[in-house]
């Protein structure tokens, strides 16, 4: 069941997440600090704790930092069966990190994002992180 919805996402920390990493720093230290950012994100959702979650993002115009959904080539035809208008990538206004945490905090049930296969690529100044994830509401996979 988990493999059905498991998707890879890419977070570009250089653009939207505060992950201050010195340029000439140790790679293991960089990776450890980036893993801590990912853990803070995961734990904030699990604990419904908005302040540490919001501190992960740059404060200037946070509403302009959106989530971008991208469907892989294999999955797109399956989605088009139910939604013929579906496209590979589309921006959804209002779909951003603020609306995510607000919906988590206001939810009466439990919320959790489980991540696996974490991959970090960094040159010491810029980092990208990708991982497979499933999102659970009341212990039921919804994404």
Reading the chain (143 residues) residue by residue, the pLDDT tens digits are: 333 333 333 343 333 444 444 444 578 888 999 999 999 999 999 999 999 999 998 878 877 777 777 888 999 999 999 999 999 988 777 788 898 999 999 999 999 999 999 999 988 888 899 999 999 999 999 98
Cα separation, 9 vs 109, in Å, equals 25
Whole-prediction pTM: 0.70
Q: Which of 140, 141, 138, 118 lies closest to 128 in space, CA to CA?
A: 118
The residue with tokens 């920390």 is 13
- Diameter over CA atoms, the chain: 50
Cα-to-chain-centroid distance, residue 66: 11
Q: Is 104 exposed, middle or buried (0-12, 13-18, 19+ CB in 10 A)?
A: buried
Task: Quote the pLDDT of residue 95.
Answer: 82
Q: If you ran DSSP here, which 8-state letter would residue 17 be given?
A: B
Task: Quote the pLDDT of residue 78.
Answer: 93
The 10 Å CB-count burial string (b at 16+, else e) for 51-69 is: eebeebbeeeeeeeebeee
- In angstroms, the Cα distances linking 113 to 6, 27, 44 are 11, 26, 10
Which SS3 state, helix, strand or coil, does residue 57 take? strand
Q: What angle do CA 66, 90, 59 make, to 5 degrees?
A: 5
Sequence ranges of the domains in the chain: 2-141
Task: Quote the pLDDT of residue 102.
Answer: 95
């Amino acid at each position: 069941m988990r493999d059905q919805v498991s998707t890879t996402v890419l977070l570009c920390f250089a653009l939207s997440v505060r992950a201050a990493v010195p340029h000439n720093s140790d790679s293991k230290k960089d990776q450890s600090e980036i893993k801590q950012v990912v853990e803070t994100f995961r734990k904030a959702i699990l604990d419904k704790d908005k302040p540490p979650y919001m501190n992960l993002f740059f404060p200037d115009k946070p509403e302009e930092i959106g989530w971008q959904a991208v469907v892989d080539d294999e999955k797109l035809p399956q989605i088009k069966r139910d939604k013929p208008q579906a496209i590979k990538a589309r921006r959804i206004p209002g779909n951003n990190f603020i609306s995510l945490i607000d919906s988590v905090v206001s939810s009466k049930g439990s919320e959790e994002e489980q991540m696996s296969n974490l991959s970090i690529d960094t040159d010491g100044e810029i980092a990208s992180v990708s991982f497979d994830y499933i999102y659970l509401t009341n212990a039921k996979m919804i994404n």
